[in-house]
């Protein structure tokens, strides 16, 4: 009975794969440019999870893999927000330019 309790749980393979996938998605979204700290944290947590697996600390490995996934998803979300803000700013500049051109064409001195 004691022997069954002392066995090491299986490696959190699915959690590790999910973390690797989330980091790959963040990389493709250019998170390294827009959310480098979050992406770096995701990579560090994944590396620590792999070390924990090697040390047969599977509960810790699972927690770190989950944290890695969360960090990578945060990096992706922050990247999307930064890109959306950039597009929004560009649209505002374009709109302001169009308004100026329309005012010049109509002679309206607003």
Task: Note the pLDDT tens digit of each residue in 7-39.
Answer: 778 999 999 999 999 999 999 999 999 999 999
* Residues sharing a CB contact under 8 Å with residue 65, sequence separation 6 or more, in sequence order: 12, 15, 16, 18, 19, 45, 46, 49
> What pLDDT, on the 0 to 100 scale, is given for residue 6?
62
What are the CA-CA distances from residue 40 to residues 22, 60, 61 (Å)?
Answer: 13, 19, 18
Stated pTM of the model = 0.78
pLDDT tens per residue, the chain (110 residues)?
A: 445 556 778 999 999 999 999 999 999 999 999 999 999 999 999 999 999 999 999 999 999 999 999 999 999 999 999 999 888 788 888 888 888 888 888 876 55
Q: Class assignment of domain 10-106? A: mainly alpha
Domains of the chain, residue spans: 10-106
């Amino acid at each position: 009975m004691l022997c069954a309790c002392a066995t090491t749980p299986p490696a959190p393979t699915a959690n590790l794969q999910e973390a690797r996938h989330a980091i790959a998605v963040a990389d493709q979204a250019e998170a390294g440019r827009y959310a480098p700290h979050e992406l770096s944290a995701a990579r560090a947590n994944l590396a620590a999870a792999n070390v924990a697996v090697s040390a047969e600390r599977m509960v810790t490995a699972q927690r770190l893999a989950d944290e890695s996934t969360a960090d990578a998803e945060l990096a992706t979300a922050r990247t999307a927000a930064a890109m959306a803000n950039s597009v929004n700013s560009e649209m505002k500049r374009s709109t302001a330019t169009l308004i100026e051109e329309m005012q010049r064409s109509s002679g309206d001195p607003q």
